[in-house]
Amino acid sequence: MRHITHRDTAVAALGTRSYEAAGDAYSRAGRSVLADPRDEIGPFEEDPKGWVGRGLQFLCLGTIAYRLAGADSRATFRAVEATAATRDLRAICTEPIQRAVLTELVADMHVAAGLDGADSIYDDAATRYEQTAPDDPMGWATTPLFEAANVVIQQVARGPANGEIAVNWEDLHGADPNEPGAYLAHRAQYKRRRFPSLVEKVLETSYLAAPRGTTEYGNSEFRCPECRSRDVNWTGDSILCMRCSHPVDRV
């Protein structure tokens, strides 16, 4: 039997609109990853893949979930916690490109919590990318640390887009990987423009979509009791409506 993770619990809580419970579960998931990114890698060791990023991703999602629950103080505390952890990780990284990603994640935390200063931090991240200009931008862009910086905005954008993919790879990255600085800096610049309004839309509608997993349109075995859709999303340990993230009924 598959082990139910804290992240699975958070996803299930999103489906029932239990946002404080989702914030708690995402917090536990984030702290767990920060403590032990991988069996063979500790949080204070050099890691070219950056597995620790998933912990930061979970804390950022937890921050948004707490705001949806009306727990604004807890959201601020979580963002401050995540920002401190991110800056600490940045201080021990020797790869300039990873320090740029971690700077970008600090800006994400500020946006998630509604804190001031995100624009200048995104600008700092973009400048760091442009100055770094690695030889293999595609290789870096597919590591877990970079992926962690993609996931939150992609999940937040799903709700206003009726469950569809509203932020894709091409949106987040520049047009030409042969210009590595601009290619990687594009994501920080894109987030600076788009992420605050997406978070505000989530708060306005009181709805954070579950992450997209394996999906199927027009599934004959399931139907959403809320919106009647038969479009299904298997994500975490849950079977949810692709459109509104409510748990689906088997019919």
Q: What CA–CA distance (Å, rounded) separates 75 from 113?
A: 6
pLDDT for residue 71 = 98
Report the greatest alpha carbon distance in the chain. Answer: 56
DSSP 124-139: HHHHHHHHH--S-HHH
- Pairing mode, strands 232-235 and 249-250: unpaired
The answer to whether residues 235 and 245 touch, using CB atoms and an 8 Å cutoff, is no
Q: What CA–CA distance (Å, rounded) separates 121 from 142?
A: 23
Give the phi and the psi of residue 219 in degrees, each rounded to 5.
Answer: -70, 130
Helix (H) or strand (E) holding 234: strand 232-235
Q: Full-prediction pTM beyond 0.85?
A: yes
How far are the Cα atoms of 128, 153, 175 from residue 181, in angstroms, in the given order? 8, 21, 11
Q: Which residues, other chains included, contact 102 with Cβ-Cβ below 8 Å and sequence gap of 6+?
A: 86, 87, 89, 90, 93, 145
- Indicate the DSSP class of residue 38: B
Q: What is the pLDDT of residues 86-118, one digit of tens each?
A: 999 999 999 999 999 999 999 999 999 999 999
Q: What CA–CA distance (Å, rounded) separates 9 from 173?
A: 31
pLDDT for residue 1 = 62
3-state helix, strand, coil in the chain (%, to 5): 60, 5, 35
Domain ranges of the chain: 6-208, 213-251
Residues of the chain with pLDDT under 50: none
pLDDT for residue 236 = 95
pLDDT for residue 39 = 87
Residue 130 half-sphere exposure toward CB, CA atoms < 13 A: 11
**Could you give the angle at which helices 53-68 and 180-205 cross, rounded to 10 degrees?**
30
Q: What CA–CA distance (Å, rounded) separates 46 from 31?
A: 19
